[in-house]
Structure 1
């Protein structure tokens, strides 16, 4: 594993340390490797955390989600979000709420491109449209015995003997613009010590809806998680890429990093210790704290001037999460309309 580059920004008495990770896997590998090479102070912090975690599990704590972990090792090996079945009930609620907000916003947002059809093979074949005029070709007399045999086989195999009266069966987005500026999204992990149940999922699923909304309109979207802490005038932050501009969004990895207490409340804390050690800092007993608007302040500090970005702080109600999404959409639309 190569050396992870350290970046720094100084402002007054505050120093911000941060590193980029190209994937969740790369970040997890970094954390595990770092845990084996901590300085004496940070090694003690990790030891204390492991002891406190083991004690909480033995006491039957529900802090790590359901089902309760058997031991610390199970938490340490946790790599996938276990509550994907919750998406079937929660995501439709967020989608419906977002649609209500979007209707109220009217022309303040990017318009959705209309689907059109053509018969020139341009776009994606639509079977549903072709099926509207589907019919079976009737066999006709062939010129010779071989052609008769082939025709009979095709009929028996139910192949090559169907066509459709609808010729425009290739779907494409009409008047879809491809020149919209790309958008980088950042989601701040953590800050959920008192949050339980479905509320943890709102920010992650709201982000997923935003990605879908933008990409349908031709906007390339990158998604990153911010995991960090602050103490003694220092900010320690890891920037973990969840989705590259050209990739599909992996909702499991998004929810793991942003909405999973089983992950954050052990591996997330372990990561804070590892990041601090990587930056040459001794993390305090409480592992530091998250300040208000810490994600927005961080991205503003490190971001390129020309970059279009948006930051999700943690939102633990549907209305708050959807409000963040609609505000991001509105701000982006206003920015591109100024050009």
Structure 2
């Protein structure tokens, strides 16, 4: 069985960054030899000699300061449109939208639009002398209006109000509370894991296809109201994933959160992040588990390696992951992205229907 050393206690990107930076500054003596790769001089040389390594028009100050925006938002839009337009209606419709049930008993969320279809108001009688609403049977009509039969004091006819003065509305529509009938975790929740990184020959633009594939899949699931959690996995192996793997898992979207396209693109597809902060995290996770950092620590984790890291190591069971899981990575072309989306929707739909 593959032995996976996984650090998975980060709540978000900020926690990962803080840990990676602290760990980097406190590497054990045997691993300090890699510190020079993150100096300004080393990075500036890399930018000059290999402009595509971090992507064009970048600087040491930019990548060392903690980037928060994907380098080219226009590129996200362009590649997203190209891939999204080629996902067929048949593929999208495989994930059935969860049906909403409506009820009159207060279960779920009040839906004003349904209530508004039958809104109406009633009149009530208010006695100043008693400082309360009185029943119609307690009221008599006089030439000057309404009076309280008991003492002839004035009574006001008005539209119904709540005690705080707000208008009291009624509705003929009874089923005005919406809720999703509970489904078993096995049929509803989906977990997506994405690895970042690419071989040195892959330029910055091609990085983005893995992220776009995951984004489009997540959007299809969101439309169908399928609870989805998405995590980034930054991993490395000293033996090409034969026996051992070291990895960090960073949450990018929890079940109750909306999809942040910029964040997902930044972490999965921006070489500035992977080849600087990602590499720092790789050094840190080796050192964290008391291992020597290998010379090939930055070798990209392919989708197959990512799958093995979670599945074959027993991590999925130990971590109590949702049974419906899918993995992304090493997707560097439009066709590969389309294939990944089609495969993901096919697999997920077969499990949750």
TM-score under structure 2 length normalisation: 0.67
2:54 aligned with 1:38, yes or no?
Answer: no
CA RMSD of aligned residues (A): 4.3
> How far apart are residue 149 of structure 1 and its match?
7.6
State which of 331, 336, 340 in structure 2 corresponds to 1:315.
Answer: 331
- How far apart are 1:336 and its partner, in Å? 6.4
2:58 to 51, 63, 68: 68
Gaps of 5+ in 1: 1-8, 11-15
Cα contact 2:7–2:285 (8 A) shared by 1: no
Identify the residue that residue 292 of structure 2 maps to in structure 1: 281
2:298, 2:50 → 1: CA distance? 26
Q: Does 1:259 align with 2:269?
A: yes
Distance 1:319 1:168, change over 3 A: farther
For residue 207 of structure 1, report the CA deviation from its aligned partner.
2.7
- Partner residue, 1:226: 233
User: 2:146 is matched with which residue?
Assistant: none
Change (3 A) 1:291 1:261: closer
How far residue 47 of structure 1 moved from its aligned partner, in angstroms, is 0.7
**1:328 and 2:328 are equivalent in the alignment:** no
Structure 2 stretches lacking a partner, 5+ long: 134-154
| Matching residue of 1:129 | 114
Residue 328 to residue 47, structure 1, CA distance change in 2 (3 Å) = same
Looking at CA atoms only, which structure, 1 or 2, has the larger radius of gyration?
2
Cα shift at 1:130: 3.4
The separation in 1 between residues aligned to 2:18 and 2:81, in whole angstroms, is 34
Q: Deviations over 1:232-254 (max 9, x none)?
A: 55754313141686542562543
| Deviations 1:75-121 (CA, angstroms, capped at 9, x unpaired) | 23315334696677766776665462425xx6xx4532223433332
Counterpart CA distance in 2 for 1:58 and 1:169 is 63
Q: SS at the partner of 1:185?
A: strand
**C-alpha displacement of 1:211:** 4.3
CA distance in 2, matches of 1:291, 1:272: 12
Counterpart CA distance in 2 for 1:154 and 1:334 is 53
TM superposition score normalised by structure 1: 0.69
Note if contact 1:243-1:249 (Cα within 8 Å) is conserved in structure 2. Answer: no
- The answer on 1:115 being equivalent to 2:100 is yes
Q: Contact conserved, 2:7 with 2:247, CA < 8 A, in 1?
A: yes
The answer to whether the 8 Å contact 2:27/2:284 transfers is yes
- Tell me the CA shift for residue 151 of structure 1: 4.9
Residue equivalent to 1:4: none
User: Are residue 170 (structure 1) and residue 170 (structure 2) matched?
Assistant: no
Distance 1:305 1:261 in 2: 28
C-alpha distance in structure 1 between counterparts of 2:78 and 2:48, whole Å:
32
In 2, the alpha carbon distance for the partners of 1:143 and 1:231 equals 82
Tell me whether 21-30 or 85-94 shows the greater mean CA deviation: 85-94
Output the CA distance in 2 between the equivalents of 1:32 and 1:223.
Answer: 23
Tell me the distance in 2 between the aligned counterparts of 1:144 and 1:66. Answer: 78
Cα deviation code 1:59-89 (max 9, x no counterpart): 89465458734x34x4233153346966777
| Separation in 2, partners of 1:33, 1:218 | 39
Q: Any conservation in 1 of the 2:119–2:171 contact (CA below 8 Å)?
A: yes
In structure 1, which of residues 242, 245, 248 is the aligned counterpart of residue 251 of structure 2?
A: 242
1:263 Cα offset (Å): 1.3
Separation in 2, partners of 1:99, 1:170? 34
| 8 Å CA contact retained: 1:119, 1:170 | yes
Conserved? CA contact 1:230–1:290, under 8 Å: no
Match of 1:102 in 2: 91
